[in-house]
Amino acid sequence: MQDGDCDLVIVGGGSAGCVLANRLSADGRLRVVLLEAGPRDSNPWIHIPIGYGKTMWDKKVNWAFFTEPDPNMNGRRIYWPRGKVLGGSSSINGLIAIRGQSEDYDRWEKLGCLGWGWSSVLPYFRKLENNPDHANDQAHGANGPVSVRSIRARHELIEAVIASAKALGVPETKDFNSGNQEGVGYYQLTTHNGLRMSAAKAYLKPARKRQNLRLLTDAHATGLIFEGKRAVGVRYRTDSEDHEIRAKHGVILSAGALQSPQLLMLSGIGPAAHLQEHGIPVRVDRPAVGANLQDHLQIRLIYKCAKRITTNDQLNSLFGRALIGLQWLFLRRGPLAVGINQGGLFTAVLNESTTPDIQFHIATLSADLAGAKPHPFSGFTLSVCQLRPSSRGCVKLASANPLDAPLMYANYLDTDLDRRCVTAAMAFARKLAATQPLKSYVAEEFLPGPSATTERDLLEFARNSGATIFHPSGTCRMGTDTDAVVDPRLRLRGIDNLWVVDCSIMPTLVSGNTNLPVIMIAEKASDMIMEEIHSRVDQLQNVA
C-alpha cells in the first residue's frame, strides 16, 4: 500500500491501536494503516516485567509529560509518563490485570451508553484473555491473545499483608476480576513465561505480515483531513517531513486521553473560544473535547522493614542483583518476572460507599518515586488510591503547533469527597501496618512519618507527595447527551467516518488499572466499526 491508498487509518499504536490493527485487518477485506509516533518495541527493558523502572523515565519510549501546576497539590507539576512506542503504555506499565467493578460499566449504561453494561462488556473481557489459572471460570477466557497469569511465588511480606487485612475483615481473594473486587491477595499480571505481554506482542506481532496492514512508526500525527463533514485522512510528520495519508472509510483516533483530544482540537473540533485563541478555524464547536479529565491519585506510604526480605535488599547488593538476574535468566522467576507491585487490596473506607472505593498496590520495594533508585534500607510500600474520584480536570492546547505537548490540568483533590477518601485510605493503610502479623515487619513508618498525626497532616502529605498512578481518562467521553463527544458506537458526533477508541471515551473512570478496560473497549469497537463499514459497503453494492 502507498500513501493515500487504504480503507482505515488508526492514529496511535498503543493498547487500543494494536487491537484495532489486528481485528480490522483480520479478514483481509480492509486495508489498514497504523500510525505510531514512537519507535518499535525493541528496547529490551520493555519485555522484562521489572524493566518499567527503566522505561518510566526514558524519553525514547515515553512522552514524559508533566501536568500544569496544580493548586490543590501545593502548586506542584506532576509527572505523567505515557507510552511512546508500539504497545503504548502497555509496553511501560506495571502489568497489573484489573477490569474494574461490574457497577462501573452498569453506571456507564445508566448514563446513556447502551451496550456498555457489565453483561455486554464481559464477553469482550473473556475474548481478550488467555488465563489458564481461571480457565474453568465463566468470568474468564482461555483462548484470547492477552496472557494473564497469577503470581505463583509467595512472598513473606505479602502473606503478612493478607493475614493482617483478613484480621481487619477484608476477605482473601484469588480473583479481583469477577466483577466483585472486594478482597486482598496477589495480583494477576499480563505476563507469559516471565516476559511482558504488551498489546504489541499480543495483537500486532501475529498480524504484522498481513499484506493489508501497514505499520508506520516514528510517524507523529499532526492533523485530520476532511471533506465537508467527513474525515478522509491524516497528516503526519516523520523524519522532519510532512505527509498525508487518505482513507476510504475513515479515521480512528487511539492516541490516548491526552493526545486524542489534542488532535481533535488541532483539527478544529473542540471548544470554539479555545480554538479561536490559537487561531484554529472551528469545524465543530464541541466544548466537552478535553473536558472531564479523571485520574487515580497515588499516595505512597513507605515503611522500613524489620527483616531483610525486600526487593530493596536484593537490588542494593551485588550478590542479590546477580541472583535475581540468574533466577530470571534460567527460570523466568523472581522479582524481574513479576515487577514491583505483587499484592492488591480493594475495600471501602467511606460509609456511603456500597462497593470498594480504594485500591492498594503493595510493593516489596520502596523508592522516592516510582521507577527511582530503591532506598538504601529494607523497605516496602503501601500505595493507596481512590477508585472513583469526583474531581475533574481538563486537557487544553498549548499552541497550534502539533509537536507541542498539550496542557494538562489534573485538578486533583478538588472535592470534599476526594479529600475525605484519600485521608481515610491513608488511615486504613496505617491501621493495616499496625495489625499483626504485618506489625512485626514494620521497623518504622518512613513516610509520612510519626509527625503526621491528624487528618489535616495526612491531607497535606497527599498534596506534597501524591502522584499519578497512570490512568488519565474521560476527555472524549461517550454518551447520548448534547455535550458527549462520541456516541455509544464511538463515532464522533458531528463528523462522519471518525471514531475515538481509547480510555478518553470513558464517561467515568473504572475502579482500577485501565489497561485491560482499554483493550476491551478496542475489542468491542472493532466489531462495531467492522459491522458499520461492511453494512455501508453492502448497501452500496445493493444500489449498484
- What are the b/e assignments for 272-295, b being 16+ CB within 10 Å? eebbeeeebeebbebebbbbbbbb
419 grid coordinates: 479529600
Q: Is position 85 annotated in a ligand binding site?
A: yes
Contact 81, 63 (CB under 8 A): yes
Contact 427, 99 (CB under 8 A): no
* Phi/psi at 91 (5° precision): -90, -10
* Phi/psi at 446 (5° precision): -80, -45
**471 in active site:** yes
Q: Which amino acid is at 439?
A: K
Q: Please, what is the Cα angle at 131 between 175 and 145, to 5 degrees?
A: 135
The conformation of residue 491, written as its DSSP 8-state character, comes to B
Contacts of 542 (CB under 8 A, 6+ apart): none
CA distance 33 to 244: 12
Beta carbons within 10 angstroms of residue 435's beta carbon: 17
Q: Which member of 134, 140, 471, 534 is catalytic?
A: 471
In 327-452, which residue ranges form alpha helices assigned H by DSSP? Answer: 335-338, 416-433
Which of 38, 71, 429 minimizes the C-alpha distance to 238?
A: 38
- 245 by DSSP, 3-state: which? strand
| Angle, in degrees to the nearest 10, between helices 118-128 and 515-543 | 100
Work out the burial of residue 203: count CB atoms within 10 Å of its CB; fewer than 13 is exposed, 13-18 middle, 19 or more buried: buried
Extract the annotated binding site for FAD: 85
Catalytic residues: 471
Extract the annotated binding site: 85
